[in-house]
Structure 1
Amino acid sequence: MIRPALLLAGAAGLIQLPCAAAAQDAAAVKPARPAAKGASRRLAPQGSPQSWVVEDDYPALAVREHEEGVVGFRLDVGPDGRAVACTVVSSSGYSLLDESACSVLQRRARFYPALDAGGKPVPAPFTSRFRWTLSDDTGGRGNPGPVWLASSFPAAD
């Protein structure tokens, strides 16, 4: 069974961490600190973005058709920390995968909202990408799963 894995860009190229290591890495990410009155803050994901899209989200038709690809997306996040719109900024090459990505992300993605200089929550964009893949860890065809390309996550302030 494939579980979402974290891909990290390093000097040796892309390194794939197994899901347990990815979970430990995600747990090490500190949540955004509440901003002091009058301080601004960038948008930051609540928890781990790797939990937003999971293996069961892979569209059955895309699995049958062996469709894979990297979806680049932009979420427009409202002052309440919820995604109000999703735009595919780079297509996987398959409309079903692109549409499924945006559908799932709009339902599940949650953020600590960006704050303006007065400490008021404001809308902000979040841009990232992940790979829909059918390949298992051995390189063969296996169960589907999303693989996040973590090098595109913004750093929290």
Structure 2
Amino acid sequence: MSAWLSIVLAGAAVSPATPVEPNTWFNSKDNPKTAMRVAERGHVTYTIDVAADGTPLRCTPDEKSDLDHDVCALVMKRARFLPAKDDQGRAVAGTYEAVASFLMPGKQRSRPDRSKLAVAVNSLPEGVTGPAFARVAFLVDGTGTVSQCTPLAAERRRFQQTVPALGPAACESLTRDYHPSPVTDATGAAVASVQSATVRFEFR
């Protein structure tokens, strides 16, 4: 086994904010015109900042068009979360990344790659082909410093090969090389948060 897969992570696990019934936040029946515009483009991606009590604070779209802001406004009316937890089990602020998408017959669009970091490697676990991905959660303090990185369970994604065994290597690279922005509360003050990210592994 490669040495970088033998990393031991210190500290207790952190957990990200968990969405409650996200499939009900935005649907074509409630918002047919906006849904059609999303389908014509393919996807709208956004990030929600979540308060320590699970309340959504703000939705920030990756792009800045009227469509993106419309989707965020609709999502914020229904978005609900179970709070993120730090390594002591305390509720803290968090972030949640999502993609709004609808399929149109005859149109196939690839999902956006929202990896926060790309890591070049000489080898991958047996049976895994590149690119491969790992999901992790981590604590971010008010200055943007990353700590307490925790690998997350694999998600069922047809468009992405998620490999839990890569979690420790993803944590090592992300803790060293990734510099996230801290979450700000309703008053604009930077606060500790649990954020999550996807790390992409590619052959050199």
TM-score by length of 2: 0.40
User: What's the CA shift for 1:41?
Assistant: 2.5
Q: 1:75-154 residue pairs with structure 2 within 5 A?
A: 75-90=48-63, 95-132=65-102, 135=104, 139=105
Gaps of 5+ in 2: 1-11, 115-134, 137-151, 155-204
- Across the aligned residues of Structure 1 and Structure 2, the Cα RMSD in angstroms comes to 3.5
| CA distances 1:71-98 after superposition (whole Å, capped 9, x unpaired) | 110000111112101111146xxx3321
User: What's the CA shift for 1:112?
Assistant: 0.9
Decide whether the 8 Å contact of 2:34 with 2:67 is kept in 1.
no
1:41 aligns with: 15
Ranges of 4+ aligned residues in structure 1 off by more than 4 Å: 61-64, 151-157
2:46 and 2:54 mapped to 1: Cα distance? 17
From the CA coordinates, give the structure whose radius of gyration is larger: 2
Decide whether the 8 Å contact of 2:28 with 2:35 is kept in 1.
no
Decide whether the 8 Å contact of 2:61 with 2:72 is kept in 1.
yes
TM-score by length of 1: 0.51
Decide whether the 8 Å contact of 1:59 with 1:97 is kept in 2.
no
1:156 and 1:62 mapped to 2: Cα distance? 30
The number of residues matched between the two structures is 103
Letter in 1 for 2:54: G
Gaps of 5+ in 1: 1-37, 141-148
User: What's the CA shift for 1:67?
Assistant: 5.0
User: What's the CA shift for 1:58?
Assistant: 2.9
User: What's the CA shift for 1:62?
Assistant: 7.7
User: What's the CA shift for 1:69?
Assistant: 3.5
User: What's the CA shift for 1:156?
Assistant: 7.0
Decide whether the 8 Å contact of 2:35 with 2:102 is kept in 1.
no
Letter in 2 for 1:107: K
| CA distances 1:11-43 after superposition (whole Å, capped 9, x unpaired) | xxxxxxxxxxxxxxxxxxxxxxxxxxx874222
Pair 1:156–1:52, CA change in 2 (3 A) = farther
Structure with larger RCO (C-alpha < 8 A, sep 6+): 1
